[in-house]
Structure 1
């Protein structure tokens, strides 16, 4: 058996040790690198709009969650879409605000989601917002624990309130991460349990349900200007469609049908209708259907 040269063996061991040390140093240096905005060249037009934000936006995916877990940071998932007016307002006011961006980059892993690319994610987070704050919409901002349990939902917030929310969450997470995580896990399990019970739907008395619909519609109806409520006016298409069906079938009360005609006439004749280019705007900002919010939806 040939003898091994001690010098050669030592050089080999030293070489392996050096390679290991260099690999560890490179890995540590990479881990310490600040996150960078990943959206500049994204194929989604909406996400690409956020490519110049000072926030280090990450694309939705396993890598972002792995980073959050490795760093022990909370996650912000911000959902929007290209035609969303208030999404652009919040981008201008908050996500391009250097002070707010610094807060986000220091204490959170920020993920931007195009709801048209990830409708399933959007639906789950919308459900969480509706259950916890009683309303939902876009921009939809949901804060998660590093392992993905939802903590807090917020919609559009002015810059000062959004910055204060970031500060409160970061301070609570730094002082009591386990307690905050337990709250999130317990709340999630309770909501899942409630949802599973709600999936058992008892038989529906159709006639009683339709009568309740007509009665409730009149409780909220603006019988003078049409529509529902006394503030911004949305078309509420599924409700109007159900009322129209009731009028056509002959089982809706006469005052429901009168209200429906008033509503449709005002929607067609006033500001909700785009008289120049056709179609209808998403809603009017006033209760009289005169001042549209200049946004059209395809759904």
Structure 2
């Protein structure tokens, strides 16, 4: 009897263990020291074959002890081209073997260490005339930069590593001299001459500066007359204030044209609210899809001020929708704010792709909107004007609502109801997709 009871108990235990479906633990081929970091950006690189280390005293001492050059690679979680270079180079075993053999490789989150970022941004600006992210710099063992740039294709990156390492082996003294000159240049960039004279802001040449600035105005599509186009909200805050204070209608028209085109464009999320980082084209259509907290905060202020001046309901709508986006997707349970949303998310194939969360095919839109599709098609240009890549569209407007109302013989109230319905349906639809990765850092300077 006891044996039967024991057998029954063992069977019950085994059945219980087998029926407990736990999530399998993901195994990684590589794990480096970044696994001990808290930054989402650094953790994204924790399973690269590159032997990445964080920026700390132990890492810096290791470079000195081993007399090795350092690779300082700086970026942030929402940086699309940082992810591209990771896929092409830092996940490649050949590249990793070279980096691990000859260099001490350091990953830095620029939002976590803006002080480190500023030093090497200045260095690359001096070296190349411009800088951005990803920022990749090679330094002497003591951290002084000798070479750098931004994004590199795999073959170009490997070639650069070979050349710099060879120069270090064959003529280290020359690199020492070069590093000293560059160091002095970086220090000089931060020097400010003390003005001991009386400050006379009344005679500051604002009009001359504005006249030069106006040469670059795009008076058809707004913003500056080039691509890519950044929103630069502080610039338009200044221009808006200048136009109002000086009763300059022409300047005010330019500012409102710019704000209209941005709000009409794909750089503004027509379905979920909020602004992407910048536009890759002149008409504000195709963005780099990452959404940064600080961009959206400044643009909410800009559109609020523009609404105070113009009472344009478009600006009020943009402010309300952007704040709804921030509350929905960028706010912690304690009421603080996250840092950013990535440009990339998983496609149906499981690959990370830029913008895939935000775009639609015509077939998807027809299926979700039914009889409303024809009106939606005109309102958001599901045509050659709004097409992006393949069969996908990035929503963009190019008509004021008054023209849509007249063309379709509907009331303003009916159009608003339809817009609310479209946004609800399409937001629910895209929320079934894999969402962009969230950088859940809460930074004091961005929240204060």
Asked if the contact 2:72/2:138 (under 8 Å) is kept, the reply is yes
**What residue is the counterpart of 1:57 in the other structure?**
52
1:220 aligns with 2:228: no
Aligned-residue offset at 1:120: 1.4
Asked if the contact 1:214/1:256 (under 8 Å) is kept, the reply is no
Q: TM-score normalized by structure 2?
A: 0.55
Cα distance between partner residues in 1 of 2:128 and 2:250 = 34
**What residue is the counterpart of 1:47 in the other structure?**
42
1:200 aligns with 2:194: yes
Q: Structure 1 residues 39-48 or 169-178, which shifts more?
A: 39-48
Q: Deviations over 1:200-257 (max 9, x none)?
A: 3575645544213321321111111111132221101121111111012116x54332
**What residue is the counterpart of 1:268 in the other structure?**
263
Q: Structure 1 residues 104-113 or 199-208, which shifts more?
A: 199-208
Shift of the 96–209 alpha-carbon distance from structure 1 to 2, 3 Å rule, reads farther
Q: Please give the secondary structure, in 2, of the residue aligned with 1:51.
A: coil
The within-5 A match list for 1:143-292 is: 143-193=138-188, 195-196=190-191, 198-201=192-195, 203=199, 205=201, 207-250=203-246, 253-292=248-287
What is the CA RMSD across the aligned residues, in angstroms?
1.9
Cα distance between partner residues in 1 of 2:208 and 2:165 = 46
Cα distance between partner residues in 1 of 2:176 and 2:265 = 50
Asked if the contact 1:272/1:291 (under 8 Å) is kept, the reply is yes
Q: Please give the secondary structure, in 2, of the residue aligned with 1:220.
A: coil
Q: Please give the secondary structure, in 2, of the residue aligned with 1:77.
A: strand
Aligned-residue offset at 1:51: 0.8
Shift of the 218–193 alpha-carbon distance from structure 1 to 2, 3 Å rule, reads closer
Q: Deviations over 1:87-122 (max 9, x none)?
A: 111111111111111111111110001122212111
**What residue is the counterpart of 1:32 in the other structure?**
none
User: Which of 97, 101, 105 is 1:102 aligned to?
Assistant: 97
Q: TM-score normalized by structure 1?
A: 0.82
Please list every run of 5 or more consecutive structure 2 residues that lacks an aligned counterpart in the other structure.
1-30, 295-448
**What residue is the counterpart of 2:113 in the other structure?**
118
Please list every run of 5 or more consecutive structure 1 residues that lacks an aligned counterpart in the other structure.
1-35
Cα distance between partner residues in 1 of 2:209 and 2:110 = 31
